[in-house]
Amino acid sequence: MDNRVSWVLEVAVKPGRLENFRVLMREMVESTRTEPGALGYEWFVNEDGAVVHLAERYADSAAALAHLGTFGEKYAGRFLESVDPTRFTVMGKPSEAVQAAMSGFGPTYLRPFGGFVREIGA
């Protein structure tokens, strides 16, 4: 397996906060788009806007740590004003520094077990 680090964060949107969260999402997507080690960054919402899943993939622990630094600096406060994290699953082999940076969200870690990734287009 490789050094990629991925995660899925599930959050519950607080009542009346969906539109604020949507504005924040747009800012965070544009910011993350400029990070060279960000390989994938997708947000998914359920039908009534109460649950959002963030699916993120980074080239390695250094890229993940850079992203987490930006998140903590610029977005964490507003993020947590709008949502409550409910599940956080981290996949890959994140460094100890990445694990420490994520510890406040109570992640479950899944180590590589098998499979492959096919990159299609860029």
pLDDT tens sequence across 84-105? 999 999 999 999 999 999 999 9
CA neighbor of 5 nearest in space, from 104, 121, 107: 107
- Strands of 5-13's sheet, edge to edge? 38-45, 51-58, 5-13, 83-92, 108-110
Residue 1 pLDDT > 70, yes or no?
no
Enter the pTM of the model.
0.93
Q: Which domains are present in the chain?
A: 5-110 (3.30.70.100)
Task: Report the amino acid identity of residue 61.
Answer: S
Q: Where are the beta strands (DSSP E) in 14-82?
A: 38-45, 51-58
SS3 106: coil
Residue 20 DSSP code: H
